Amino acid sequence: MRSTCFFYLLHFVVLVLLSVSLVQAEDAYKYFTWTVTYGTLSPLGSPQQVILINGQFPGPQLDLVTNENVVLNLVNKLDQPFLLTWNGIKQRKNSWQDGVLGTNCPIPPNSNYTYKFQAKDQIGTYTYFPSTQLHKAAGGFGALNVYHRSVIAVPYPYPDGDFTLLVGDWYKTSHKALRESLDSGKSLAFPDGLLINGQSHTSINGDQGKTYMFRISNVGMSTSINFRIQGHTLKLVEVEGSHVIQNIYDSLDVHVGQSAAVLVTLNQSPKDYHIVASTRFSRRILTATAVLHYTNSHSPASGPLPSPPTYQYHWSLIQARSFRWNLTANAARPNPQGSYHYGKITPTKTIVLANSAPLINGKLRYAVNKVSYVNPDTPLKLADYFNIPGIFSVNSIQSIPSNGPASVATSVLPTSLHDFIELVFQNDENSMQSWHLDGYDFWVVGYGFGQWTPAKRRIYNLVDALTRHTVQVYPNSWTTILVSLDNKGMWNLRSAIWERQYLGQQLYLRVWNEQQSLYNEYNIPSNVLLCGKAIGHHL
């Protein structure tokens, strides 16, 4: 009897130890050292200065598995301070690592900073890029893909291959000259070209009969793009970490800052086919192409390039409304336990944000509710932590549009941890807008033309709206999102159109409660960089 009991006890101990080791293996650490330098390349045919990471343009692809921890030492060899932000990574309880000027001091030239963050409970297609100045116009961006753990299924057969396509508009003008133009009060000219993975022409190889995942991200400065493949359809499976109902599309609109993943089956005759990305909603159409090469092909791509959608904003809006959340997917996503449903919660607060393009002191600025954001010399997060007065005020911007004159301020909206907010983006301009929120993904519940009113709630999707981190707002239109503010910190809400972000179309949400606990937020990093009025303060 004793031997039997001992056997079962030993068996139990072995199982416990094995399960612990498996958990530890799933939550592995990955270590990187990235060095940022200038280099000379010719993305559009003429030599120009670009930003390289470890000598690469675009930067290295960062491939992670859900819940892996990243320890990344970033060495800045530029002649200007520099930061990277991890677009779409939620930085749970950890806005210290967000990599924007409201949370981090920029890394000085010939210095370094080590980011430490976890891809917590996320699966999907993301990117990283420079958040400082106009560095994004010179490069420094790259792909960040988070794959599922072995114990979590994804709602589609595992593809035979995985291709990442970073698509974006591009200027031949240097980022320093572009910045000088904005500082002088001038808007940027229309971009000079469109690139796919840093090139205007590239190729992708695949085997006939196999199915491949294409991860498409718009890493550009200002322009929506449309993506399509000659003779092939696109099965949409994931949008910025949200697994979606798998509708079939001939082409997809991807707006600035957004990402999507599609499955493409190579089920055509063995030849080469055109892959096309072109700008949307612009008088002048920019196009970048790639070749989809069947490995058994003996024929080059032929025929005209596949055409973009004939219709404009209304077509795009209808397509956007067709993106629906896959409620049966057993994968990392908001509220994976299903303990609540977003459509049954009454928001604690409604915030309406209207963008505008005022002249302030004779120069072009961009504003939110008539306030144009300016970066202080001290990050807001450090000012909050060290109780440094005079850096920002939570009364600097209102939560509804203002009719007063435009002004500049360091705009911060106060919110409480665990608020559930309704956030309406009102676009009264004739141009496309794109909005991104750090620290979260959110439910996109409504799009509409004209002015938003409370009556528009009747057309919200409160059943299966997808979650994402960046959403478009069509000209003279509105878009509504719902956000569960369960991630304490100081979080940047910004235009993804970089000229607008640089000239003030952004603000911060201060998600706060009085309880200081590791349950709510991690401690300040021991290697934190100090600048501005935070210099001299002790951790």
Q: Which pLDDT belongs to residue 332?
A: 53
Helix/strand/coil for 433:
strand
Which strand ranges, in their side-by-side order, compose the sheet holding 201-206? 201-206, 287-294, 272-279, 225-229, 251-254
Q: Which pLDDT belongs to residue 215?
A: 98
pTM here is 0.94
Say how far apart CA 86 and CA 141 lie, in whole Å. Answer: 10
- Residue predicted with more confidence, 65 or 17: 65
Q: What's the pLDDT tens digit per position in 263-311?
A: 999 999 999 999 999 999 999 999 999 999 999 999 999 999 999 999 9
Q: Could you identify the residue written with the tokens 């696109």?
A: 234
Q: Which pLDDT belongs to residue 107?
A: 98
Judge whether residue 131 has pLDDT over 60.
yes
Q: Are 220 and 256 a contacting pair, CB within 8 Å? A: yes
Instruction: Decide if 93 is inside a domain.
Output: no
Tell me what the mean pLDDT of segment 80-91 comes to: 98
Which strand ranges, in their side-by-side order, compose the sheet holding 111-118? 48-53, 29-41, 69-76, 111-118
Judge whether residue 46 has pLDDT over 70.
yes
Longest dimension (CA), the chain: 91
Instruction: Decide if 463 is inside a domain.
Output: yes
**CA-based nearest residue to 482, from 345, 302, 380:** 345
Judge whether residue 257 has pLDDT over 70.
yes
Q: What's the pLDDT tens digit per position in 384-419?
A: 999 999 999 999 999 999 889 999 999 999 999 999
Judge whether residue 5 has pLDDT over 50.
no
Q: Which pLDDT belongs to residue 151?
A: 85
Helix/strand/coil for 74:
strand
Cα–Cα distance list, 526 to 94, 96, 113, 243, 295 (Å): 13, 11, 11, 36, 51
Tell me what the mean pLDDT of segment 474-499 comes to: 98
Q: What's the pLDDT tens digit per position in 356-377?
A: 999 999 999 999 999 999 999 9
Instruction: Decide if 223 is inside a domain.
Output: no
Structure tokens at 285: 């159409």
Instruction: Decide if 506 is inside a domain.
Output: yes
Q: Exposed e or buried b for every residue in 272-292, given b needs 16+ CB within 10 A?
A: bbbbbbbbbbeeeebebbbbb
**CA-based nearest residue to 377, from 530, 206, 158, 216:** 530
Which structural domain range is residue 373 located in? Answer: 342-534
The number of folded domains in the chain is 1
The β-bridge relationship of strands 442-449 and 477-484 is: antiparallel
Q: Which pLDDT belongs to residue 331?
A: 56
DSSP label of 283: S
Q: Which pLDDT belongs to residue 330?
A: 63
Percent of the chain's residues with pLDDT above 70: 93
Q: What one-character-per-residue DSSP string does 464-502 give?
A: SB-EESEEEE-TTEEEEEEEE--S-EEEEEEESSHHHHH
Instruction: Decide if 273 is inside a domain.
Output: no
pLDDT averaged over every residue in the chain: 93
Instruction: Decide if 346 is inside a domain.
Output: yes
CATH of the domain at 373: 2.60.40.420
Instruction: Decide if 401 is inside a domain.
Output: yes
